[in-house]
Structure 1
């Protein structure tokens, strides 16, 4: 059914969001008093530059009346806002208590509730969301004939095989429902999507129920005045996925797992657990368990209950990625995908994610460079654990090239240093997505957190120069095995500066060029 002003008003009333409808001197809660109430909207947008005849405009965030200059001539049909703008437009306004919640509900309705045509899987956690989402999509694609779409912080995929770089971990609600409609139109039957804490903080997934929610883990992150004021708030926002799901997949060893189980019990939903254990404690402490198949941790056994699913050798290194693989198999179990096809299950082995645990060997020296998205205490710790487990006996000289995001997640700056300073030889602090904060200020702040007098540190603001210098420095120490950990940006081809994406080669391309690969 097409969305009209009348049906939009009814939907908003149902969710106790509508305050009144205003058009000129008419203030009413009865859409029948508006002449155009039954005319279907031709489009929906939150960008005034995209208004065309018949469009419903959602005014969210720091919206200003001047954005509406000339909007009636563009063909605006109506607007949704927390403030009335009758002085700026002659069109009717649906005045609401919460514009973001209203936008999510109206977007779902405008696009014909595409989530009802998909089995929707939401993946959240402090680390591992992207890898788990890719593994899950690969596994479901293998058993469904390529019918799984993907929304991730790296790429979006709406047809099972074409990947396009994404802008946000979880899209704005309007974009999400538009892409769901496109995915359903492409014949997709499943959608795997990363769900960030911000998605609940700013209502990007308001009104959306997940068939399966995966809660991987939790540790302090995203603590800042513009994100979450406290860890409690961060965890609370993450937990909302549980009360908006029909089934939960849970990391058995997650911090606060007991609370998450209580949430699931209160919501009346079942729980499927997964875990990573060492070879001596493989056990049955979770429904899906992974444990090393060899001393070098080059492959892992994975079992689903009493059913051995075989040995897996992933294309993405690191024990934590075998934990992510176990999570993906647990998700498949929870969503009802058959685990009997061994070939399909091994589809996760070929998954590669650009810029994630990518390894490059320098032909000119005994140097290994690893490019990864690690950006907080948990992920840097996991990365270093992997390095020491794999190459610790070779006594490598480790250099960490890192920065930290500007204007947010201030806690990461100290935590990255704390995670690394006693395990590496050298820091090189450089630009990341520093936004409006001066690069040098962030780098100097991070350098100031170093307490280990034996670790060397350098500040090089330009990221290309920083990576280049790290490589030259490694070659100058050719008597040692050097490992360069270049983190935070992966293969992203831009750096955010003053709210704009400034083109950048990408860490992986810089390393490939310097190594002559």
Structure 2
């Protein structure tokens, strides 16, 4: 059975990918190849895509350009904002080309697109030539689909086959491999640009000093990626620095909940080992002396199982209290997912009901503590079994705290 699966699944995937390629071709023709009417910027990577995409658009807008973007959180076409309705990063070919056509019709000069490995592997972006392609990082994620890190990396690399300028993170483990491919391969890439913090690169905090409201080293990388893109697009340094300094962040990305509680609470979309590790590191300096860092998270069902204990390990190493709970379990038992995460953090508390887990965290927290609610971020639903229930982490957190406060008073 395993041998049959190993043979059949790749064949089925190739057939499915051929379907997506044909759909992308037809969608391009139907909408008149709209991406040719504006400059496209593609951002791919495991973590940091949404923040980088939104910041690039913010800088371009500050520079006086008509700009838009399509991200996991939303699409912004000129002044129109369209909320994301699916748990996907890159829309299907027809929806994608429709949005690009809308951008072209509104006279946008630039459209910044968040690009997933699935979208690249499935040819959803076929027919789009990018002025700039940028990579944030490539860490452990989506191995349920790609099977190996190498396959995952090669899917990401497809973006640069259709990019005139390739911008890579020199500090990331993917750099050496991608750099050698860009040098040796006869691709459309005409120029390689690098950014980084630890290694010498074209754009570093020393070569291009800037200030940002965004906490954490990972956001330094996101800012540098955006700086590199906009610099290569011809935006002057003064405009870039001012825009980066003013950028307030993205919905559901280390977003603070202020409901009158005497401690700090943040919601975040972190759902990978690296993402969780980075946001925990960013939150640690916010904890007062003698305070505790409390994290609540789970892992999506029917997705990459191998990352679960790694997420538990990250939380166990960097948080003082760890509470494991549901996160889009789908038809996989939540308790089973939790136990797989707990292999990396045996001391974690297990509370399958997410609202109950959040309530426990808020009841445990004291003045000076920081509570991180990870995994849902901007999303507006929670999938349990076949049921998709409305879910707004910020609103639910505020409601929980109001009830806790009322209970204390009464």
Confirm or deny a common fold (TM above 0.5).
yes
Corresponding position: 1:228 with 2:146: yes
Structure 1 residue 218, shift from structure 2 partner: 1.1
Corresponding position: 1:508 with 2:394: yes
Q: Deviations over 1:4-61 (max 9, x none)?
A: xxxxxxxxxxxxxxxxxxxxxxxxxxxxxxxxxxxxxxxxxxxxxxxxxxxxxxxxx9
- The counterpart of 1:322, out of the listed 208, 220, 226, is 220
- The counterpart of 1:467, out of the listed 337, 346, 358, is 358
- The counterpart of 2:211, out of the listed 303, 309, 312, is 312
- The counterpart of 2:297, out of the listed 384, 399, 402, is 402
CA distance in 2, matches of 1:318, 1:512: 25
- Structure 2 partner of 1:28: none
| 127-136 or 428-437: bigger deviation | 428-437
Structure 1 residue 499, shift from structure 2 partner: 5.4
Structure 1 residue 485, shift from structure 2 partner: 1.2
Structure 1 residue 338, shift from structure 2 partner: 2.0
Contact 1:218 1:255 in 2 (8 A): yes
Superposition pairs for residues 448-459 of structure 1, below 5 Å?
Answer: 448-451=343-346, 455=347, 457-459=348-350
TM-score by length of 1: 0.70
Structure 1 residue 449, shift from structure 2 partner: 3.5
- The counterpart of 1:489, out of the listed 376, 387, 394, is 376
- Aligned-residue CA RMSD in angstroms? 2.4
Contact 2:281 2:318 in 1 (8 A): no
- The counterpart of 1:337, out of the listed 234, 244, 268, is 234
SS at match of 1:248: strand
Q: Specify every segment of 5 or more residues in structure 2 that has no aligned partner in the other structure, as ranges.
A: 1-10, 406-410
SS at match of 1:512: helix
Structure 1 residue 370, shift from structure 2 partner: 1.8
Which one has a larger percent helix, Structure 1 or Structure 2?
Answer: 2
- Structure 1 partner of 2:264: 368
SS at match of 2:159: helix
- Structure 1 partner of 2:74: 155
- Structure 2 partner of 1:275: 196
CA distance in 2, matches of 1:364, 1:489: 21
Q: For residues 98 and 422 of structure 1, do their structure 2 counterparts lie closer, same or farther at Cα, with a shift above 3 Å needed?
A: closer
Structure 1 residue 444, shift from structure 2 partner: 2.6
CA distance in 1, matches of 2:47, 2:54: 14
- Structure 2 partner of 1:3: none
Structure 1 residue 135, shift from structure 2 partner: 0.4
| 156-165 or 489-498: bigger deviation | 156-165
CA distance in 2, matches of 1:152, 1:375: 16
Q: For residues 326 and 161 of structure 1, do their structure 2 counterparts lie closer, same or farther at Cα, with a shift above 3 Å needed?
A: farther
SS at match of 1:162: strand
TM-score by length of 2: 0.87
- The counterpart of 1:288, out of the listed 197, 203, 208, is 203
Superposition pairs for residues 199-210 of structure 1, below 5 Å?
Answer: 199-210=119-130
Contact 1:398 1:424 in 2 (8 A): yes
Q: For residues 134 and 499 of structure 1, do their structure 2 counterparts lie closer, same or farther at Cα, with a shift above 3 Å needed?
A: farther
Corresponding position: 1:186 with 2:106: yes
Corresponding position: 1:117 with 2:3: no
CA distance in 2, matches of 1:97, 1:171: 14
Superposition pairs for residues 260-271 of structure 1, below 5 Å?
Answer: 260-265=178-183, 266=185, 267=187, 268-271=189-192
- Structure 1 partner of 2:56: 136
Q: Deviations over 1:198-234 (max 9, x none)?
A: 112222112322111001211121111xx11111111
Structure 1 residue 394, shift from structure 2 partner: 1.8
SS at match of 2:303: coil
Which one has a larger percent strand, Structure 1 or Structure 2?
Answer: 1
- Structure 2 partner of 1:169: 89
Contact 2:133 2:160 in 1 (8 A): yes
Contact 1:212 1:249 in 2 (8 A): yes
Contact 1:362 1:368 in 2 (8 A): no
| Higher RCO structure, 1 or 2 (CA under 8 Å, sep 6+) | 2
Contact 1:242 1:263 in 2 (8 A): no
SS at match of 2:72: coil
CA distance in 1, matches of 2:196, 2:343: 37
CA distance in 1, matches of 2:389, 2:17: 37
Contact 2:358 2:373 in 1 (8 A): yes
Contact 1:132 1:327 in 2 (8 A): yes
Q: Deviations over 1:279-331 (max 9, x none)?
A: xxxxx81111126xxxxxxxxxxx44xxxxx54232x3222212211110101
Contact 1:140 1:337 in 2 (8 A): no
